[in-house]
């Protein structure tokens, strides 16, 4: 709540996403619509915490990104500043309204914030969202650190209002998830209610309207080019024969590389990267014999710079990804820039990384420690039952959430995944052409976000699929945001939750049952078997809702209430060291003690779900004091 | 733009490496805040999303006027705070030549080891591999000290105290303790201050010795 303070001029250490949340207040944004996705998640988390305390402010966790884009777009058309936030793949979901919004434009400022994820720290791809700016004809800003993310957001609203179109605000993981000192500015007042003024022949893009609006949009981009040429967001510093053009977080690495290597160069730092300042760039190209373009992922700027050089008939050397100097994959570092500069300038690197790499190769393979389902995660129990009931022989389409981690042994229940909601629809495709049993698993938030059309499709087209909805009563992977099944809104208002089983029945699913995964493993396995048998016989979709709160929420609630539960332990006399608990269930709170030859439960990690009791064939796992 | 002449060698780089749930992110944030109390420019690099799921977690803290980006290159960290032996080894390439490694000796078994897929390396071989990169290693059971302070959960504060005692960071002990007191409410405050002091004394004693 520190972000709400009015003390302008104060400096705080802020995460990029906190700086952006503060920027929302300083920009006078009236409405924010978000679907959570790492690395953008903390923007929404901070705003929802503040929302009830800010007058004339509305915040929602929308059901998905397309919905968020439409809610925020309409608010800006009505006449208040709005923000839509999503991660890279989320903009793909929202691409349809995004392209329409460019044509019809907005009356008040609108910013679409997309957080890309180079290196795929927590994403299914590292798609470079900058191409949406090109395709939609939308101006784009790219901040390089938390401080700039806040100040640039304020400028984004001014540009959006000047041009009457939304602005794409593109961050990357190392901006969202870095902390740096940020200077606070004054919080801007927001209007109360505004009047929607009708203008259907602008805001309804029937073909005759769209026909005119496309030309209008290209005209606005001409004006955007003037902004790009004159804005202080695009600036150069330093001097030297060598020229460097860079944007986003790569700017830091370029600068650190130059100072580490003590190389003189002129650096053109672009904050407004679409449309690029063509005149400024052609001047820059004229002043240098060699220009290196430093940017993460695709050669977006590089291609644009080459275009300018070609238009102006210049022969300057433009070096980048096209010649293989830089990679199109993964995030950059100062090292990557230093190594490339060293290659181009024919120098030695200041640190002998070859020697370090050599020593790293002498380290034998270490035990991997990938992220796992937590101790006490209800998904582990459900997946164990699914696997046991089908002997691992069914096909298991998975979805986006914590539960994708069931890909790892010993659960191994993730066979195919495209995007949010694809578990249900890929199950349809597989079931139609294989005749194998197909069990899709999808989380509660993902179900509401993108699962509903898949269920309707399965019901109406009679796809013989089983769908297990893993309802842990939250959006767990991104940091426990509410969703329509939780009974809480982004404004922190308590409302009637939508019941997932009722929703499925309402959509026409004939077989819907709800289970509690920690009740009885025998019953849970029987439920899965019964569901598979029903779908085999009826050739229709069936749904099993497995409902139990996320282990992290359970632990937090227990800590708050001070409730003490009796821990579980392994009876070392009864345990015969068969390791079935470890090799079949594999809870991170259990390990094998080589000295005693028995399994052990680490009480500091155990979340007291009790599922392991049923997994042990010896009955060696007991509740209570040892 | 004066940064062009900046001396990146003057940046103090700390790497914090451990397992999700050990308090790695919290400590990185507190170190940076303390450095700011003392008037320093800072950067923190973190990775979220998977951090609570028991996976490997690494954070970077960079202190100094020329710190710009969040990333520390191999061979660039003057100090490594290792919350767990193999997680320290996983990031050991980041240590600067003769940089200091403060290593918690307490092992947290990865699932792959529990399942019998791979052995956890022996203590001696972990230390020998670290020594290929630096001979400056301070190893002790920081988890045990945290329990002595009151809770295993204050492991990160033991390592905070240890880091400050090393004298490698420009953070004063007072600023560090202020951030500990600011961060933990009520009964947890004294417990965490105790943990900090235990870590501090442990490293002071080892260095004096």
Tens digits of per-residue pLDDT, A422-456?
A: 999 999 999 999 999 999 999 999 999 999 999 99
B29 contacts in A (CB within 8 Å)? 13, 179
Q: CB-based contacts of A583: which residues, under 8 Å, 6+ apart?
A: A410, B115, B116
Q: CB-based contacts of A295: which residues, under 8 Å, 6+ apart?
A: A246, A247, A248, A250, A301, A302, A320, A326
What DSSP letter does each residue of B166-194 carry, written as one string? TT-SS--HHHHHHHHHHHS-THHHHHHHH
pLDDT of residue A625: 74
B118 contacts in A (CB within 8 Å)? 365, 367-368
B98 touches chain A (CB under 8 A): no
Q: What is the mean pLDDT of residues B81-92?
A: 98
Of A238, A252, A591, the CB nearest to B68: A252
C-alpha dist (Å) from residue A403 to A247, A311, A517, A519: 35, 51, 14, 20
B59 touches chain A (CB under 8 A): no
Maximum distance among all Cα pairs of chain A, rounded to whole angstroms: 84
8 Å CB contact of A367 and B118: yes
- Chain length of chain B: 209
- Closest approach of B206 to chain A, Cα-based (Å): 28
- Closest approach of A79 to chain B, Cα-based (Å): 35
Q: What is the mean pLDDT of chain B?
A: 93
Asked whether residue B3 carries a pLDDT value surpassing 50, the answer given is no
Tokens 């019941």 correspond to what residue?
Answer: A499
8 Å CB contact of B8 and A256: yes
Asked whether residue A392 carries a pLDDT value surpassing 50, the answer given is yes
Beta strands A11-15 and A178-183 are: antiparallel
A145 contacts in B (CB within 8 Å)? 43, 68-69
Nearest partner of A427 among A401, A449, A457, judged by Cα: A457
Asked whether residue A6 carries a pLDDT value surpassing 80, the answer given is no
Q: CB-based contacts of B172: which residues, under 8 Å, 6+ apart?
A: B34, B38
Rg of chain B on CA atoms, in Å: 16
- Closest approach of B208 to chain A, Cα-based (Å): 31
Evaluate if pTM is beyond 0.95.
yes
Q: What is the mean pLDDT of residues B135-153?
A: 95
Of B44, B110, B120, the CB nearest to A178: B44
B131 contacts in A (CB within 8 Å)? none
Residues 112-171 of B with CB under 8 A from A: 112-121, 129, 132-133, 152
Of B74, B87, B114, the CB nearest to A356: B74
**Burial class of residue A168 (count of CB atoms within 10 Å of its CB; 0-12, 13-18, 19+):** buried
B42 contacts in A (CB within 8 Å)? 13, 179-181
Is A137 strand, coil or helix? Answer: coil
Q: What is the mean pLDDT of residues A591-605?
A: 91
8 Å CB contact of B46 and A592: no
A253 contacts in B (CB within 8 Å)? 69, 71
Beta strands A31-34 and A290-294 are: unpaired
- Cβ atoms of A431 and A450 closer than 8 Å: no
Q: CB-based contacts of A520: which residues, under 8 Å, 6+ apart?
A: A614
8 Å CB contact of A366 and B86: yes
Helices (H) and strands (E) in chain A, counts: 24, 22
8 Å CB contact of B20 and A371: yes
The token pair at B205 is 């004693």
8 Å CB contact of B53 and A351: no
- Closest approach of A335 to chain B, Cα-based (Å): 6
- Residue in chain A lying closest to B42 (CA): A180
Is B45 strand, coil or helix? Answer: strand
8 Å CB contact of B3 and A370: no
Tell me what percent of the residues of chain A surpass a pLDDT of 70: 100
Of A249, A259, A372, the CB nearest to B7: A259
B82 φ, ψ to 5°? -100, 115
pLDDT band per the 50, 70, 90 thresholds, residue B50: low
A247 contacts in B (CB within 8 Å)? none
B121 contacts in A (CB within 8 Å)? 364, 366
Q: What is the mean pLDDT of chain A?
A: 96
Q: What is the mean pLDDT of residues A186-207?
A: 97
B75 touches chain A (CB under 8 A): yes
Q: CB-based contacts of A298: which residues, under 8 Å, 6+ apart?
A: A128, A130, A131, A321, A328
**Burial class of residue A20 (count of CB atoms within 10 Å of its CB; 0-12, 13-18, 19+):** buried
Tens digits of per-residue pLDDT, A209-225?
A: 999 999 999 999 999 99
Question: Mutation test of the interface with chain B: which of A11, A362, A588, choosing the one with the most B Cβ atoms within 10 A?
Answer: A588
Tens digits of per-residue pLDDT, A49-96?
A: 999 999 999 999 999 999 999 999 999 999 999 999 999 999 999 999
- Residue in chain B lying closest to A268 (CA): B1
Is A14 strand, coil or helix? Answer: strand
- Closest approach of B88 to chain A, Cα-based (Å): 11
Domains recognised in chain A with CATH numbers: 2-229 (3.40.50.970), 234-352 (3.40.50.920), 378-558 (3.40.50.970), 564-623 (3.30.70.20)
8 Å CB contact of B1 and A173: no
B48 contacts in A (CB within 8 Å)? 38-39, 41-42, 122, 177, 479
pLDDT of residue B124: 97
Which helix or strand (DSSP H or E) is residue B67 part of? none
Q: At CA A609, angle to CA A606 and CA A610, rounded to 5?
A: 95
Asked whether residue A107 carries a pLDDT value surpassing 70, the answer given is yes
8 Å CB contact of A372 and B53: yes
Which helix or strand (DSSP H or E) is residue A86 part of? strand A82-87
Of B3, B54, B92, the CB nearest to A588: B54
8 Å CB contact of A237 and B4: yes
Question: Mutation test of the interface with chain A: which of B26, B49, B78, B130, choosing the one with the most A Cβ atoms within 10 A?
Answer: B49
C-alpha dist (Å) from residue B151 to A466, A468, B142, B144, B195: 45, 39, 11, 9, 9
Of A42, A177, A369, the CB nearest to B56: A369
Tokens 């769908």 correspond to what residue?
Answer: A467
Tokens 């249900």 correspond to what residue?
Answer: A424
Asked whether residue A2 carries a pLDDT value surpassing 90, the answer given is no
The token pair at A232 is 């202080």
B47 touches chain A (CB under 8 A): yes
8 Å CB contact of A357 and B152: no
A179 contacts in B (CB within 8 Å)? 28-29, 32, 42-44, 46
Looking from the CA of A507 toward its CB, the CA atoms found within 13 Å total 26
pLDDT of residue A1: 61
Question: Mutation test of the interface with chain A: which of B25, B53, B118, B135, choosing the one with the most A Cβ atoms within 10 A?
Answer: B53
Tens digits of per-residue pLDDT, A245-272?
A: 999 999 999 999 999 999 999 999 999 9
The DSSP 8-state label assigned to residue A405 in this structure reads G
**Burial class of residue A77 (count of CB atoms within 10 Å of its CB; 0-12, 13-18, 19+):** buried
B93 contacts in A (CB within 8 Å)? 356-357, 359-360
Q: What does CATH list as the number for B11-107+118-208?
A: 3.40.920.10
* Residue pairs spanning A and B at CB distance below 8 A: 188
The token pair at B129 is 């591999």
- Cβ atoms of A412 and A398 closer than 8 Å: no
Asked whether residue A38 carries a pLDDT value surpassing 70, the answer given is yes
pLDDT of residue A227: 98
B3 contacts in A (CB within 8 Å)? 255, 259
B38 touches chain A (CB under 8 A): no
B2 touches chain A (CB under 8 A): no
Asked whether residue A168 carries a pLDDT value surpassing 50, the answer given is yes
pLDDT of residue B5: 60
Nearest partner of B121 among B136, B137, B110, B132, judged by Cα: B110
Q: What pairs with residue A111 in β-bridges?
A: A83, A167
Nearest partner of A196 among A97, A112, A82, A76, judged by Cα: A76
pLDDT band per the 50, 70, 90 thresholds, residue B1: very low
Of B20, B43, B115, the CB nearest to A583: B115
Asked whether residue A626 carries a pLDDT value surpassing 80, the answer given is no
Distance CA B191, CA B153 (A): 10
Tens digits of per-residue pLDDT, B109-126?
A: 998 998 889 999 999 999
Distance CA A340, CA A326 (A): 7
Beta strands A598-601 and A140-141 are: unpaired
- Residue in chain A lying closest to B126 (CA): A363
Nearest partner of B76 among A180, A261, A144, A350, judged by Cα: A350
pLDDT of residue A603: 87
């Amino acid at each position: 709540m520190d972000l709400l303070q009015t003390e302008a001029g104060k400096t705080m250490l802020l995460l990029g996403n906190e700086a952006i949340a503060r920027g929302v207040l300083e920009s006078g944004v009236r409405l924010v619509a978000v679907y959570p996705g790492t690395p953008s998640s903390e923007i929404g988390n901070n705003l929802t915490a503040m929302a009830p305390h800010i007058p004339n402010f509305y915040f929602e966790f929308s059901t998905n990104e397309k919905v968020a884009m439409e809610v925020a777009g309409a608010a800006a058309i009505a006449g208040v500043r709005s923000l839509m936030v999503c991660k890279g793949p989320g903009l793909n979901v929202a691409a349809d309204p995004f392209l329409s919004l460019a044509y019809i434009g907005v009356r008040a400022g609108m910013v679409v914030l997309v957080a890309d994820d180079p290196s795929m720290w927590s994403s299914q791809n590292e798609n470079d969202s900058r191409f949406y700016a090109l395709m939609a004809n939308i101006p784009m800003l790219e901040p390089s650190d938390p401080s700039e993310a806040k100040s640039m957001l304020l400028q984004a609203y001014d540009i959006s209002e000047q041009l009457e179109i939304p602005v794409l605000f593109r961050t990357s993981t190392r901006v969202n998830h870095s902390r740096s000192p940020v200077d606070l500015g004054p919080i801007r007042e927001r209007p109360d209610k505004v009047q929607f003024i009708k203008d259907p022949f602008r805001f309804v893009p029937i073909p005759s309207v769209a026909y005119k609006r496309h030309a209008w949009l290209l005209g606005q981009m001409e004006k955007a080019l003037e902004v790009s040429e004159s804005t202080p967001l695009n600036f150069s510093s330093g001097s030297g024969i060598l020229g460097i053009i860079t944007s986003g977080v790569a700017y830091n690495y370029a600068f650190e590389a130059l100072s580490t290597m003590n190389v003189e160069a002129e650096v053109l730092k672009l904050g407004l990267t679409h449309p690029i300042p063509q005149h400024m760039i052609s001047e820059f190209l004229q002043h240098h014999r060699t220009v290196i373009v430093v940017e993460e992922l695709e050669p977006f700027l590089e291609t644009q710079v080459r275009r300018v050089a070609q238009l102006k008939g210049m022969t300057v050397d433009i070096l980048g990804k096209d010649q293989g100097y830089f990679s199109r994959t993964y995030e950059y570092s100062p090292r990557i820039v230093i190594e490339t500069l060293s290659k181009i300038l024919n120098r030695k690197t200041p640190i002998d990384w070859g020697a370090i790499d050599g020593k790293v190769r002498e380290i034998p393979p270490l035990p991997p420690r990938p992220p796992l389902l937590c101790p006490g995660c209800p998904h582990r129990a459900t997946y164990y039952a699914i696997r046991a009931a089908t002997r691992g022989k069914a096909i298991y389409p998975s979805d986006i959430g914590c539960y994708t981690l069931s890909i790892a042994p010993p659960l191994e229940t993730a066979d195919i995944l495209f995007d949010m909601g694809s578990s249900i629809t890929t199950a349809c495709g597989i079931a139609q052409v294989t005749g194998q049993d197909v069990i899709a698993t999808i989380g509660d938030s993902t179900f509401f976000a993108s699962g509903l059309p898949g269920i309707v499709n399965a019901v109406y087209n009679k796809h013989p699929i089983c769908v297990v909805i893993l309802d842990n009563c939250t959006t767990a992977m991104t940091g426990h945001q509410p969703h329509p099944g939780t009974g809480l809104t982004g404004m922190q208002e308590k409302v009637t939750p939508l019941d997932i089983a009722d929703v499925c029945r309402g959509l026409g699913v004939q077989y819907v049952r709800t289970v509690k995964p920690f009740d009885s493993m025998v019953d849970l396995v029987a439920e899965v078997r019964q569901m598979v048998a029903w779908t085999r016989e009826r050739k229709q979709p069936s749904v099993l809702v497995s409902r139990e709160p996320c282990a992290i929420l359970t632990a937090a609630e227990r800590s708050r209430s001070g409730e003490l539960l009796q821990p579980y332990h392994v009876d070392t006399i009864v345990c015969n060291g068969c390791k079935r608990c470890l090799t079949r269930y594999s809870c991170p709170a259990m390990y094998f003690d080589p000295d005693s030859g028995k399994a052990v439960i680490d009480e500091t990690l155990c979340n007291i779900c009790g599922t392991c009791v049923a997994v042990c064939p010896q009955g060696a796992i007991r509740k209570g004091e040892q | 733009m004066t940064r062009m002449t900046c001396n990146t060698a003057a940046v103090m780089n700390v790497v914090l490496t451990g397992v999700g749930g050990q308090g790695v992110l919290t400590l990185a944030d507190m170190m940076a805040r303390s450095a700011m109390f003392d008037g320093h420019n800072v950067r923190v690099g973190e990775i979220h999303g998977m951090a609570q799921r028991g996976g490997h977690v690494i954070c970077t803290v960079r202190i100094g006027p020329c710190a710009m980006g969040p990333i520390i290159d191999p061979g660039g960290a003057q100090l490594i705070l290792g919350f767990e032996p193999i997680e320290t080894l996983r990031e050991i390439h980041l240590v600067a030549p003769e940089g200091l490694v403060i290593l918690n000796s307490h092992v947290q078994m990865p699932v792959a080891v529990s399942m019998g897929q791979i052995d956890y390396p022996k203590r001696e071989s972990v230390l020998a591999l670290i020594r290929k990169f630096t001979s400056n290693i301070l190893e002790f059971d920081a988890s045990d000290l945290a329990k002595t302070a009151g809770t295993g959960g204050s492991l990160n504060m033991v390592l905070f105290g240890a880091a400050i005692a090393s004298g490698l960071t420009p953070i004063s002990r007072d600023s560090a303790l202020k951030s500990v007191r600011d961060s933990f409410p009520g009964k947890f405050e004294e417990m965490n201050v105790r943990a900090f002091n235990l870590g501090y004394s442990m490293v002071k004693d080892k260095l004096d010795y």
